[in-house]
Structure 1
Amino acid sequence: MNIRHNQFMNFGKVMKQLVLLGVFLFSIGTLAAQSQSSSSNPYVRLGNKAIMDGDFRAAVNALEKVKTPDTLVTYMLGYSQIRCADYNKAIGSFTKLLSQSPNNFSAYYWRGKARNTLAVQSSNKLSDTDRSKMLQESIDDFTNAIRLNPEDLSYYQSRGMAYRDLGILQGTSSTAVYSKEEATNAYQKSIEDLQHVLKANSKREDLAKEIKKVKIYKDNLSK
């Protein structure tokens, strides 16, 4: 039983990595068309090869040496920083990218992912107030990604999970940001986003289970 569980978990991790790489490659195609000089830079070529090889630390080391990074380089750097779990640096990179390309929905998505991950990490020193603020910023990023590219269901799913995390934080009475009303609202929005994705793909059993969990969290607030 444990062997099967481990095989399933390993398969899930591989599929998640493939999805992340697919999102990255899709966005790279768009940005590459806008880039004029990146392909001739040796550090960019090294960074791109490292990404394709899955060596994201090497990619960061190479891309950080590009003196005048364009949107393509900045995107590649931010993505590599996320894969290295350097979430603060990734937030900085995607913020810079958005200053260069304010309608880049992928930049909003990845910055939202970085903020969400950083906000729920127990190892960091963030206060409850800072965690709440960062989760809301993550939600805002996903909302902007949806506004610019409403057909991508992964944005709704990510926002739904961020709302869930915000609900958990606000619904915990021992936190400085405890609010039963706001937690209830966050859980409801999480359910709506996740149901939106499930409606488009009824075979997503993982989402169906997650929705049930969020409904339980929401119901427990009234007990």
Structure 2
Amino acid sequence: MNIRSNQFMNFGKVKHWVLLGVFVFSVNAASAQSQSSSSNPYVRLGNKAIMDGDFKAAVNALEKVKSPDTLVTYMLGYSHIRCANYNKAITSFTKLLSQSPNNFSAYYWRGKARNTLAVQSDNKLSEAERGKMLQGSIDDFSNAIRLNPDDLSYYQSRGMAYRDLGILQGTNSTAVYDKSSAEEAYQKSIDDLQHVLNSNSKREDLAKEIKKVKIYKTNLSK
């Protein structure tokens, strides 16, 4: 059974202004150095490209910034995400977290990049490497929750990552098959998704996903 997830592949279907709202909020909190970047022409070009939705142009501009501050590093990581350059996004957000370890948005986006990379069928990762990538994603979402526990999207993303880990560990044809670990991952997925559903009972998509995960967990015993 191949691990597949559409949770991040649907990223581009979300209205762009909503994403930019998240982005702008994170940038405003990211760095006191941001004002020093405003005079850099490549930063201005990168920022304009992001606002225009041209993320390839943003990457091209921002990669030319010498000694980027945390704002620029965030913008670059975000642009890599939108260009589906997940390995480069992970590198950028890892660098950002070394500079700003309490940046919950950086943890969130790195977690997204790791989760997406782990479930891609053509990523050339071994099953063990996929497992480590998924656990890293879960750890990132957990750190985002620790720093900003009121954001339900973090719980939802972690729940989906737990689901993907459960699928990997619960597939008996894989080298990482571990029934008990898969059961635990599925239960944690259910708990996280239920936490979000409890706050909004109209989320039929989550209710359906919880049912699916429960079926996955039940099938482990068959």
The residue number in structure 1 matching 2:28 is: 29
The residue number in structure 1 matching 2:69 is: 70
Once residues 58 and 167 of structure 1 are traced to their aligned partners in structure 2, the CA distance between those partners, rounded to angstroms, is: 38
Query: Quick one: which amino acid aligns to residue 39 of structure 1?
Result: S
The residue number in structure 1 matching 2:199 is: 200
Q: Displacement of 1:28 after TM fit?
A: 1.6
Counterpart secondary structure, 2:91 = helix
Please, what TM-score do these two structures have when normalized by structure 2?
0.92
Please show how residues 62-101 of structure 1 align to structure 2 within 5 Å: 62-101=61-100
Structure 1 residues 128 and 12 mapped into 2: Cα distance closer, same or farther (>3 Å)?
closer
> Do 2:115 and 2:137's aligned partners in 1 also have CA atoms closer than 8 Å?
yes
Structure 1 residues 12 and 178 mapped into 2: Cα distance closer, same or farther (>3 Å)?
closer
Once residues 206 and 169 of structure 1 are traced to their aligned partners in structure 2, the CA distance between those partners, rounded to angstroms, is: 22
The residue number in structure 2 matching 1:215 is: 214
Once residues 106 and 34 of structure 1 are traced to their aligned partners in structure 2, the CA distance between those partners, rounded to angstroms, is: 17
What CA deviation, in whole Å up to 9, does each residue of 1:72-96 have, x standing for no partner? Answer: 0000000000000000000000000
Query: Quick one: which amino acid aligns to residue 191 of structure 1?
Result: I
Q: Displacement of 1:32 after TM fit?
A: 5.6
The residue number in structure 2 matching 1:133 is: 132
Q: Displacement of 1:36 after TM fit?
A: 3.3
Moved over 4 A (4+): none
Once residues 22 and 118 of structure 1 are traced to their aligned partners in structure 2, the CA distance between those partners, rounded to angstroms, is: 25
The residue number in structure 2 matching 1:163 is: 162
The residue number in structure 2 matching 1:44 is: 43
Query: Quick one: which amino acid aligns to residue 94 of structure 2?
Result: T
The residue number in structure 2 matching 1:144 is: 143
The residue number in structure 2 matching 1:118 is: 117
Once residues 15 and 204 of structure 2 are traced to their aligned partners in structure 1, the CA distance between those partners, rounded to angstroms, is: 16
Bigger fraction of residues in helix: 1
Once residues 33 and 191 of structure 2 are traced to their aligned partners in structure 1, the CA distance between those partners, rounded to angstroms, is: 36
Counterpart secondary structure, 2:38 = helix
What CA deviation, in whole Å up to 9, does each residue of 1:156-207 have, x standing for no partner? Answer: 0000000000000000001000011000000000000000000111111111
Counterpart secondary structure, 1:122 = coil
Structure 1 residues 85 and 216 mapped into 2: Cα distance closer, same or farther (>3 Å)?
same
> Do 2:33 and 2:69's aligned partners in 1 also have CA atoms closer than 8 Å?
no
Structure 1 residues 205 and 12 mapped into 2: Cα distance closer, same or farther (>3 Å)?
farther
Once residues 56 and 90 of structure 1 are traced to their aligned partners in structure 2, the CA distance between those partners, rounded to angstroms, is: 12
Once residues 97 and 76 of structure 2 are traced to their aligned partners in structure 1, the CA distance between those partners, rounded to angstroms, is: 14
Counterpart secondary structure, 2:102 = coil
Once residues 199 and 84 of structure 1 are traced to their aligned partners in structure 2, the CA distance between those partners, rounded to angstroms, is: 34
Please, what TM-score do these two structures have when normalized by structure 1?
0.92
Q: Displacement of 1:24 after TM fit?
A: 1.3
Q: Percent identity?
A: 83
> Do 2:104 and 2:144's aligned partners in 1 also have CA atoms closer than 8 Å?
yes
